[in-house]
Amino acid sequence: MDAKKEHKESSYMMEDDGEIGSVMGFSGFGKKARTFDFNAIFEQTRRTAIERSQRVLEDREREAQMEVEGESSKSVKASVQSEGTKASAAASRAQKSGSGSDDSESDSELVGPPPPPRPDAQEDDELVGPPLPPGYTGNTAVSDDEDDDDEGGTQEDDDDDPVKKIPDTHEIILQHGTKTVSALALDPSGARLVTGGYDYDVRFWDFAGMDQSLQAFRSLQPCDCHQIKSLQYSITGDVLLVVSGNAQAKVLDRDGFNVMECIKGDQYIVDMANTKGHTAMLNSGCWHPKMKEEFMTCSNDGTVRTWDVKSEKQHKSVFKPRSFQGKKVIPICCTYSRDGKLIAAGCQDGSIQIWDRNLSVHTKFHCRQAHAVGSDTSCLCFSYDGVTLASRGGDDTLKVWDIRSFRKPVNEASGLTNYFSMTDCCFSPDNKLLLTGTSVKREQGSGKLVFFDKLSFKRVYEIEVTNASVVRCLWHPKLNQVMAGTGNGLAKVYYDPVKSHRGAKLCVVKSQRKGKHAETLTQDYIITPHALPMFRDARQRSTRKQLEKDRLDPKKSHKPEPPVSGPGRGGRVAAHGGTLSSFIVKNIALDKTDDSNPREAILRHAKEASENPYWVAPAYKETQPEPVFAEESDEDEEADKEPEWKKRKI
């Protein structure tokens, strides 16, 4: 009876196991797990590895002998693989033989993960693992590993040292003009650089389109006769913000064409929040880091305004900085935080004021004595962590702040001369260095790019740029190239051929294009699309072919005669002129004969004309009568001698 019950229960369990296995995808429910003797398994594995290593060494010796004899080594490798499979099969058989007494009771499948290997069982003198590389002698592999570790350690040290990441081995010079480069901008992809200066010009530089001549492909004056204060591309790179010395900011597209212009406010309204735009000169501007259609400007009217590209007739919101007494303060620079939630402004009274972007009434963070009073805070820059803020002051200092404790600066560096209200500072792409420029007077030193360590704030590196002030600086994260705008009209790009990418590397490898000399002899082609076929000129397919034809034509290719030097030759007049009037004027000026008595001047040639008639007399020689003149009598002579008063009386 008991045996029948057990048989029924086992049959029920088998049915349940089959149903569960069909549903769950695996079986083995209700079976007892097998037990293993791990010590025996590990010992068998160790012995198998030792035997395999010995076989491998023997096979390698045999293979070396066969290579000397000129035989192929493929058969040896095949035997090694077959023996390896035999060894693995022997190991599996040893595992089965090393199982406990419980294995004999249940013949079910193995349940559970495979047993882990034991590294303690490996001895130093025994070879365990994959085959050794060819040419193995002694402990050379260990020394190679140590060398690799040393190289890896030095490479890690280079990666940890931020100074070695500064790309300063090579440079290119872009000639913007002769006046100060007061604005620099790179699009997010790093393909185009835009420079603006005190000469009112904005120049566009395309790295992919430039050659070694380094010429800008476009130059324009978007704001007429106003100095360019700031330039910046949007996060998408399709539009460019231009902030100049007037009260209206402009937005241009990538090719420099106007997209929008901010409206000007009413300067007779006292409350600047009630007017639609700025009423005084702009100082700075920037784009929102997350929203591609919003940007911000600050002005001498004491306001910071946000704008939308789609609505140019009115600002979006207004922020009004205030002093400790509640008076109006002029903001010199402004910026967004990395996440775009905060708006910071550096003011003329030395304070730094930060607002929440959605709350424009009260400041969220406020430091009233960040820099000296009356000095222009030229730049504010948030680090990539969003908490650290760097400020470049007009008091020749560079300070780093933690906005969570905004009363005192975390670090400060002094002695950095600053003569401009737009001198930059920026963080390195790895957020470990801080970069700024220094100012110098004309021909009294060299402007420098100074690098500070963010944590220790030590001056770790500097680059002498030129013998003028360094106003703008920019470190692009994608290109890993440093741009600097100077006071003598130069824009320098520093790069490293290994560490940098694209950018200046694209244009320095292109040879300079040969300039095409314009041929003045070629005739202009007049396009007449509606002319009749008999009057229509043949269309010029190629200018080069037409030039070759004109060169063969003797009339079109005739070289004009150069001007005559000297007295003249071949009927040509000298350099005084080629017309008859100029020739006569010259001869008249040179003729110095005195013809004061015209009668004598005419009768001077009478004797020669009567003796040798040439012009008039020969024509009338046959028909002209001889002149007969009456001889004068004595009475006539006496009458001529009488006084005049007697003649009148008679």
pLDDT tens track for 323-341: 888 888 999 999 999 888 8
Q: Are the beta carbons of 114 and 42 closer than 8 angstroms?
A: no
**Residue ranges of the domains in the chain?**
196-205+216-436+450-459
Residue-wise DSSP of 459-517 = EEEEEEEESS-EEEEEEETTTTEEEEEETTSEEEEEE-TTT--STHHHHHTSPPPPPPP
The region of weakest confidence among 13-22, 357-366, 507-516 is 13-22
Q: Is the pLDDT of residue 183 over 90?
A: yes
Output the six-digit token pair for 121. Answer: 């069982």
pLDDT tens track for 42-76: 888 888 989 888 888 888 888 888 877 765 444 44
CA-CA-CA-CA torsion for 468, 473, 479, 480, nearest 10 degrees? 90
Query: What's the confidence (pLDDT) of residue 168?
Result: 86
For 196-205+216-436+450-459, which CATH superfamily applies? Answer: YVTN repeat-like/Quinoprotein amine dehydrogenase (2.130.10.10)
Query: What's the confidence (pLDDT) of residue 629?
Result: 61
Query: What's the confidence (pLDDT) of residue 100?
Result: 43
Smallest CA-to-CA distance from 506 within 190, 256, 219, 236 is with: 190
Residue type, position 437, single letter: G
Q: How far apart are CA 268 and CA 276, in angstroms?
A: 12
Q: For residue 178, with 0-12 CB atoms within 10 Å meaning exposed, 13-18 middle and 19 or more buried, which class applies?
A: exposed
Query: What's the confidence (pLDDT) of residue 286?
Result: 93
pTM for the predicted model, two decimal places: 0.57
What's the Cα-to-Cα distance from 544 to each of 72, 82, 514, 549, 550, rounded to whole Å?
Answer: 65, 74, 15, 9, 10
Q: Is the pLDDT of residue 240 over 90?
A: yes
Q: Are the beta carbons of 216 and 203 closer than 8 angstroms?
A: yes
* Mean pLDDT along residues 139-167: 58
* Mean pLDDT along residues 479-500: 91
